[in-house]
Amino acid sequence: MRLCSIAVLLALTLPTAAQPNGGAPVVYKVSFPAPEHHVAAVDVTFPDVPAGTLQARMSRSSPGRYAVHEFAKNVFDVHAFDGKGKELPLARPNPYQWDVTGHDGIVRITYKIFGRLVDGTYLAIDTTHAHMNMPATLMWARRMDDRPVRITFTPPAGSNWRPATQLFPTTDAWTFTAPNLQYLFDSPTELSAHQVREFTVANSDGKRFTIRAAVHTASSERDIDEYAAGVEKIVREAVTVFGEYPAFDGGTYTFLADYLPGNAGDGMEHRNSTVVSGRGNVRNGLGTASHEFFHAWNVERIRPQGLEPFNYEEANLTDSLWVAEGFTQYYGSLIMGRSGLADLKRTVGGMGNLADSVINGAGRQFRSPVEMSHMAPFTDAARAVDPTNFSITFISYYTYGGAVALALDLSLRDKTDGKVTLDDFMRAMWKVHGKPGGPAPGLVAKPYALSDIRDRLAEVSGDRAFADQFYTRYMIGREVVDYARLMQRAGIVLRKRNAGMAWAGELRGAPDAVNRIGNLQAPGAPAYAAGLEQDDILADVNGKPVTSIQQFNETVAASKPGDRMAVLVKRGSATVNATITLQEDPELEAVLLEDTGGTPTPAQKSFRDRWLGSQQRR
Ligand SMILES: [Zn+2]
């Protein structure tokens, strides 16, 4: 009989609600016998294991960070046992997997794992906390991912830690449940002597949610209070975009904030929580909090195809990170501005930077927003030994998508005199793809395809031809809108930042040689057209020796657009003569019309206020 006594006992002691899928739960015990050595001890029992080989794995990927990570690398001291405690042999068919055979329907695996990077993707253990991203911490087994999970944490003896997590609580403060592997792995957990601030929000139907900030930091109580007050402003402004809060599982959403020296600056979205980390004062983390909270709708519930369900065995590819991350980037800043946490100049300046990045970014010559999304596994925390040319062929989907969001918001407002906005588009995406939810917490039933973006846009704009054209030209295509004309409607001027200044391209010195070009040259820039490239040594310009790239750049700055510069280049043993024809510096900036000496018209003021002002009073 496969179902042995331990499994029966576990099944009997669990509330039936924790077993929506029928199987007995997978049981994890995580302890920290030597936190000063950055090690956790994990003990996992898989009950009701089908006959044959149990394939236990460490993940190769983690939601929200798109490179392959190989979490197996930090696992050591692995042992497997059957239900009677007999040790079983382990085979390693590949670097990420431990095969267990000869079991009696129960497999218990114990292992240790090392981790010391505090961010949103990895595992960090020290004497002040255990900061756990679950795919980086927990081994799982193939074909058991729909099993419910029960997990108990044991803090180090004598510690004053307490848990903060979106996992479902039980009557034991240190034991939690998850309905399936997807939810478990979406549930980062912080065990520390953190401080908690909380407030309550409600939907119009009266449904209430508790928003918590669990803050592990050396910042002062006052800083934590200010952070929590900022978080509350963000939360109350963000909801106006969608009209309602998601039905947070368990009725809570938690900001797991970790701001201590040595931390990485990061933010990572989850369904009912976010990890936000950094090394400075927690008050500086509000911009990240604004971005991550928007993800509670956009990506956690309005989920693109390709990420649903998340595949923990390889890198995950989606067409739509320019929406999932880019639109979130745009709204993260917009909500900071609308809620009064960022001033108008900063918000408008950020919009200008988005526009500049795509208008002038060399990467747009090669890849559309969709194609930039496909680069995520190679660019998001990815490590390469051989050089890449991403600096000239890639524009982050955060930036490119943010610029598309700006273009679409302004185009809709321009076309409808403010009656239809990007908020309406986000709300349509929410109603069709996010709000319906999924069969269990952690699952999304209606992830969207690219064509859904086009269709929702046709619906909210009431103009299928506009939607088709915008989609074809700016989403799957590489064209850009007339940002200057659109921004002018809000009394914002998009202008050359260094008007009249000569420009040769972006040339930076190599660290080891002051007159050697240290960066790849971008197609379209004068230096590229002249045949200059990274590693070229600029020996002299216009007959005078070049002592540094900085000096070369000063010579350019003292020239005029259209001037020609004769450059002697040393490339290995060869010497090359090149002529650079200088252009005007194309970099753009967005400034308020009134800061250029102009006066916005009432129509411009109204357009600007309806776009960038708080939506809460409307
Ligand atoms: Zn994000």
What CA–CA distance (Å, rounded) separates 330 from 112? 41
User: Strand (E) positions, 270-324?
Assistant: 273-278
- Tally of residues, the chain: 618
Q: Would the pLDDT of 10 be above 70?
A: no
- Distance from residue 289's CA to the centre of ligand 1 (Å): 10
* pLDDT at residue 210, as a whole number: 98
- Distance from residue 269's CA to the centre of ligand 1 (Å): 7
| Between 400 and 10, the higher pLDDT residue | 400
- Distance from residue 318's CA to the centre of ligand 1 (Å): 14
CB 47 within 8 A of CB 6: yes
The rounded mean pLDDT for the chain is: 95
* pLDDT at residue 69, as a whole number: 94
* pLDDT at residue 18, as a whole number: 39
Tokens of 539: 């020996």
- Distance from residue 290's CA to the centre of ligand 1 (Å): 10
- Distance from residue 299's CA to the centre of ligand 1 (Å): 9
What CA–CA distance (Å, rounded) separates 254 from 305? 26
Q: Is 135 helix (H, G, I), strand (E, B) or coil?
A: helix
Tokens of 573: 């043993």
What CA–CA distance (Å, rounded) separates 269 from 62? 11
Q: Would the pLDDT of 404 be above 60?
A: yes
* pLDDT at residue 329, as a whole number: 98
Average pLDDT estimate for 122-149: 97
CB 535 within 8 A of CB 528: no
Q: Would the pLDDT of 3 be above 60?
A: no
Backbone torsions φ then ψ of 491, nearest 5 degrees: 70, 35
Residues with CB in 5 Å of ion ligand 1? 325
* pLDDT at residue 443, as a whole number: 96
For the beta carbon of residue 223, count every other beta carbon within 10 angstroms: 17
- Distance from residue 136's CA to the centre of ligand 1 (Å): 19
Question: What number of CA atoms fall less than 13 Å from residue 500's CA on the CB side?
Answer: 1
| Between 513 and 401, the higher pLDDT residue | 401
* pLDDT at residue 112, as a whole number: 98
Distances in Å between the Cα of 574 and the Cα atoms of 68, 316, 558 are 41, 45, 29
* pLDDT at residue 4, as a whole number: 38
- Distance from residue 580's CA to the centre of ligand 1 (Å): 40
- Distance from residue 26's CA to the centre of ligand 1 (Å): 31
* pLDDT at residue 336, as a whole number: 98
- Greatest pairwise CA separation for the chain in angstroms: 90
Task: Report percent pLDDT > 70 for the chain.
Answer: 96
Distances in Å between the Cα of 487 and the Cα atoms of 66, 230, 355, 469, 495 are 33, 28, 10, 20, 11
Tokens of 19: 């077993």
Q: Which of 6-10, 38-42, 368-372 has the lowest mean pLDDT?
A: 6-10
- Distance from residue 235's CA to the centre of ligand 1 (Å): 16
Indicate the pLDDT class of residue 471, thresholds 50, 70 and 90: very high
Average pLDDT estimate for 65-93: 97
Tokens of 1: 């009989």
Model pLDDT for residues 527-574, shown as the tens digit of each residue: 999 999 999 999 999 999 999 999 999 999 999 999 999 999 999 999
Average pLDDT estimate for 113-136: 98
Q: For residue 528, which of 581, 586, 572, 584 has the smallest C-alpha distance?
A: 581
- Distance from residue 86's CA to the centre of ligand 1 (Å): 46
Q: Would the pLDDT of 76 be above 50?
A: yes
* pLDDT at residue 513, as a whole number: 80
Q: Would the pLDDT of 9 be above 70?
A: no
CB 215 within 8 A of CB 226: no
Average pLDDT estimate for 335-342: 98
- Distance from residue 468's CA to the centre of ligand 1 (Å): 27
CB 395 within 8 A of CB 372: yes
One-character DSSP codes across 12-47: HHS-GGG-TTSSPPEEEEEEEEEGGGTEEEEEEEE-
Helices (H), 491-588: 526-529, 549-557
Indicate the pLDDT class of residue 22, thresholds 50, 70 and 90: low
What CA–CA distance (Å, rounded) separates 355 from 195? 40
Q: Would the pLDDT of 320 be above 70?
A: yes
Tokens of 592: 């308020």
- Distance from residue 395's CA to the centre of ligand 1 (Å): 16
Average pLDDT estimate for 362-370: 98
Task: Report percent pLDDT > 90 for the chain.
Answer: 95
Q: Would the pLDDT of 254 be above 70?
A: yes
CB 300 within 8 A of CB 274: no
CB 468 within 8 A of CB 458: yes
Q: Would the pLDDT of 618 be above 90?
A: no
DSSP state of 154: E
- Distance from residue 354's CA to the centre of ligand 1 (Å): 16
* pLDDT at residue 33, as a whole number: 93
Taking the mean position of all CA atoms in its chain, how far away is CA 345? Answer: 25
- Distance from residue 298's CA to the centre of ligand 1 (Å): 9
CA dihedral 99, 101, 106, 108 (to 10 degrees): -50
Average pLDDT estimate for 429-448: 97
Model pLDDT for residues 204-251, shown as the tens digit of each residue: 999 999 999 999 999 999 999 999 999 999 999 999 999 999 999 999
- Distance from residue 181's CA to the centre of ligand 1 (Å): 22
For the beta carbon of residue 157, count every other beta carbon within 10 angstroms: 8
